[in-house]
């Protein structure tokens, strides 16, 4: 998946989703929502302990047959994309994420060691569902 010639796509899975606490980091730099979709089924999602605001960790596990997870794809200008990625704190990083239509785009992934003591929330289908459960 690509953005337009003057933008780069980024897949967000948690605190950067529309309406979530860090979404402004996308919108304030001119980011534009391209689409809402799901990941391919071979991803697991975890609630990372000790993060503020609370953040998820997305880990690819080839062969895992999960439900796919709700994500958003945003378009950023190349300079904004670079500045955005440079601010991402460990254990999060950016890598290629396969979407349910078979396309790939850069997006948030988590180092596997960071989910060792985290709560797996894959079965909920995404971060919004997890946050709604926490508030309910």
Q: Which domains does the chain carry?
A: 8-135 (3.10.490.10)
Which spans in 6-109 are helix H? Answer: 24-27, 78-86
User: 0.85 cut: is pTM over it?
Assistant: yes
pLDDT in tens, the chain (136 residues): 555 579 999 999 999 999 999 999 999 999 999 999 999 999 999 999 999 999 999 999 999 999 999 999 999 999 999 999 999 999 999 999 999 999 999 999 999 999 999 999 999 999 999 999 988 7
Rounded Cα–Cα distance for residues 31 and 9 (Å): 9
Rounded Cα–Cα distance for residues 7 and 88 (Å): 19
Residue 76 bridge partners (DSSP): 8
What is the pairing mode between strands 70-76 and 119-120? unpaired
């Amino acid at each position: 998946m690509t953005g337009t010639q003057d933008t780069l796509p980024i897949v967000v899975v948690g605190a950067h989703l529309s309406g979530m606490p860090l979404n402004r980091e996308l919108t304030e730099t001119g980011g534009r929502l391209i689409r809402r979709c799901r990941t391919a089924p071979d991803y697991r999602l975890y609630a990372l302990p000790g993060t503020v605001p609370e953040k998820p960790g997305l880990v690819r596990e080839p062969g895992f047959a999960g439900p796919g997870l709700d994500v958003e794809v945003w378009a950023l200008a190349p300079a904004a994309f670079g500045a955005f990625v440079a601010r991402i704190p460990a254990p999060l990083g950016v890598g290629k994420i396969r979407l349910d239509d078979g396309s790939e785009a850069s997006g948030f992934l988590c180092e596997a060691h960071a989910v060792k003591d985290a709560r797996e929330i894959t079965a909920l289908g995404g971060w919004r569902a997890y946050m709604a459960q926490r508030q309910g």
